[in-house]
């Protein structure tokens, strides 16, 4: 009989985890959020003290905006939207204002968003003209029957939705213009220019236990032929599921696509949870008849910080074995928020209802 009960719990955990966690969060008001602004060769000798200060200030501003929404009982999807908009408006990152230039000296921006409560998602690729691309991704999710739009069709949809439009020169900054000029004049290679990935993203869990993830980027400096990376690809650069986690990625997009990094991490967490629950059940003492004296309910059980981190690290290690660089941020239904990356550094930050709030740049920072 007990084996049957455990088997049933394992098979139905995908539903019970979300439901039970929702009730639990409503009781203790837990929330969490993690953000990123790119990963790469972020060594201290490559970043000036002024840049360090500006980037940390931007990360703190974005983190504070998302945290306030969550603390006030707002939704995860609203929190990450507001957070990413702030990063898109900051020229220190490769998203929105400050996006990199293509080979043709134009801007082609990519973005996506996903709501873990119902697995709804929206994405746009190869766009320009929209001030905040993440709002276009959200509009695709909320107001269209599609998941992804691209190019001029996506631009038209943005205008139809009344989203704020900007002229082409809005995205340009002196730094990005210098980058493309050096590349086109053959002074440097694309690899030298893209030593860091300025993609921005956010993931969150709100007080109702719902997850959300979003990502926004300008892509690669000097990209050609309408190249699209992982950022607008649901399952590669962005994924959210109340049953497991929320993920946003940054890095060498082709490898994230090949490995399906965002979905892969969430799938491993989702599959690990019922196994870990059954393992925990086996530690409960049995009575004289061999029956467990207590049945651990799904709402009482969570994966540990170490297990979550190990799953994320394992997938990023596989990414590295393929030849890919970059990292991810994660949030879980149990309130954890963190990161994993295989580069020298990663612009990142996290905050929780437990009082944690931190931002970091370099790999040796906590």
Q: Any idea what the CATH number is for the domain that residue 358 is in?
A: 3.60.20.30
Is residue 178 a part of any domain in this protein? no
Number of domains in the chain: 1
Is residue 308 a part of any domain in this protein? yes
Tell me what the mean pLDDT of segment 241-260 comes to: 96
Q: Which of 199, 238, 332, 352 is catalytic?
A: 199
Largest CA distance in the chain: 81
Residue 13 has pLDDT above 70, yes or no: no
pLDDT for position 281: 75
pLDDT for position 20: 40
Residue 2 has pLDDT above 70, yes or no: no
Q: Mean pLDDT highest for which of 181-195, 202-216, 271-285, 301-315?
A: 202-216
Distance CA 29, CA 14 (A): 22
pLDDT above 90 as % of the chain: 70
Categorize the per-residue pLDDT at 7 as very low, low, confident or very high, splitting at 50, 70 and 90.
Answer: very low
Name the token pair of 79.
């929190």
Tell me what the mean pLDDT of segment 75-100 comes to: 96
pLDDT for position 333: 95
Categorize the per-residue pLDDT at 279 as very low, low, confident or very high, splitting at 50, 70 and 90.
Answer: confident
Categorize the per-residue pLDDT at 28 as very low, low, confident or very high, splitting at 50, 70 and 90.
Answer: low
pLDDT above 70 as % of the chain: 89
Q: Which of 50-54, 215-219, 319-323 has the lowest mean pLDDT?
A: 50-54
CA angle 188, 192, 194 (to 5 degrees): 125
Is residue 135 a part of any domain in this protein? no
Is residue 322 a part of any domain in this protein? yes
Is residue 155 a part of any domain in this protein? no
Is residue 53 a part of any domain in this protein? yes
34 contacts: CB under 8 Å, gap ≥ 6: 202, 203, 204, 329, 330, 331, 337, 338, 339, 348, 349, 350
pLDDT for position 26: 42
Distance CA 84, CA 74 (A): 16
Categorize the per-residue pLDDT at 190 as very low, low, confident or very high, splitting at 50, 70 and 90.
Answer: low
Phi–psi pair at 196, nearest 5 degrees: -140, 150
Categorize the per-residue pLDDT at 302 as very low, low, confident or very high, splitting at 50, 70 and 90.
Answer: confident
Provide the residue range defining the domain that includes 68: 2-95+111-117+196-362
pLDDT for position 234: 98
pLDDT for position 193: 58
pLDDT for position 295: 78
Is residue 350 a part of any domain in this protein? yes
pLDDT for position 3: 38
pLDDT for position 290: 79
Is residue 158 a part of any domain in this protein? no
Which stretches of 186-260 are DSSP H helices? 190-193, 253-259
Distance CA 349, CA 32 (A): 11
pLDDT for position 192: 56
Name the token pair of 354.
């437990």
27 contacts: CB under 8 Å, gap ≥ 6: none
Residue 75 has pLDDT above 70, yes or no: yes
**Mean of all residue pLDDT scores within the chain:** 88
Say which residue the tokens 């002024």 belong to.
50
Say which residue the tokens 């998602």 belong to.
121
pLDDT for position 82: 98
Our answer to whether residue 199 is catalytic in this structure is yes
Other C-beta atoms within 10 Å of 22: how many?
A: 19
Tell me what the mean pLDDT of segment 307-325 comes to: 97
Query: Is the Cα dihedral 18, 211, 241, 322 positive or negative?
Result: negative
Distance CA 333, CA 133 (A): 27
Name the token pair of 140.
């695709």
* Bigger pLDDT: 15 vs 358: 358
Categorize the per-residue pLDDT at 321 as very low, low, confident or very high, splitting at 50, 70 and 90.
Answer: very high
Its pTM surpasses 0.75: yes
Tell me what the mean pLDDT of segment 106-116 comes to: 97
pLDDT for position 331: 98
Residue 260 has pLDDT above 80, yes or no: yes
Categorize the per-residue pLDDT at 365 as very low, low, confident or very high, splitting at 50, 70 and 90.
Answer: confident
Name the token pair of 166.
């900007």
pLDDT for position 242: 96
pLDDT for position 102: 94
Query: Is the Cα dihedral 167, 249, 240, 348 positive or negative?
Result: negative
């Amino acid at each position: 009989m007990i084996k049957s009960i455990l088997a049933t719990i394992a098979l139905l955990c995908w539903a019970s985890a979300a439901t039970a966690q929702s009730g639990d969060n409503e009781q203790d008001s837990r929330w969490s959020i993690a953000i990123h602004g790119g990963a790469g060769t972020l060594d201290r000798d490559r970043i000036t003290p002024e840049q360090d200060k500006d980037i940390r200030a931007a990360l703190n501003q974005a983190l504070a905006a998302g945290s306030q929404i969550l603390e006030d009982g707002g939704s995860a999807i609203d929190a990450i939207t507001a957070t990413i908009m702030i990063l898109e408006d900051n020229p220190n990152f490769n998203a929105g204002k400050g996006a990199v230039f293509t080979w043709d000296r134009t801007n082609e921006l990519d973005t996506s968003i996903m709501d873990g409560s119902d697995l709804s998602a929206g994405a746009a690729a190869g766009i320009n003209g929209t001030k905040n691309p993440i709002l276009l991704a959200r509009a695709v999710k909320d107001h269209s029957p599609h998941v992804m739009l691209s190019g001029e069709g996506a631009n038209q949809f943005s205008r139809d939705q009344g989203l704020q439009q900007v002229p082409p020169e809005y995205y340009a900054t002196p730094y990005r213009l210098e980058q493309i000029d050096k590349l086109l004049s053959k002074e440097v290679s694309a690899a030298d220019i893209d030593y860091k990935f300025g993609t921005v993203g956010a993931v969150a869990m709100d007080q109702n236990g719902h997850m959300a993830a979003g990502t926004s980027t300008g892509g690669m400096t000097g990209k050609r032929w309408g190249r699209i990376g992982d950022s607008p690809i649901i399952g590669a650069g962005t994924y959210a599921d109340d049953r497991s986690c929320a993920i946003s990625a940054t890095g060498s997009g082709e490898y994230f696509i090949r490995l399906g990094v965002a979905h892969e991490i969430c799938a491993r967490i989702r599959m690990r949870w019922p196994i870990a629950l059954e393992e925990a059940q086996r530690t409960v003492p049995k009575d004289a008849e061999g029956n467990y004296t207590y049945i651990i309910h799904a709402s009482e059980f969570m994966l540990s910080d170490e297990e979550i981190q190990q799953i994320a690290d394992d997938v990023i290690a596989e990414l590295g074995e393929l030849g890919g660089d970059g990292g991810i941020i994660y949030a879980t239904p149990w309130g954890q928020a963190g990161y994993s990356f295989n580069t020298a550094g990663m612009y990142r930050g996290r905050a929780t209802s437990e009082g944690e709030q931190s931002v970091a740049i370099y790999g040796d920072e906590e």
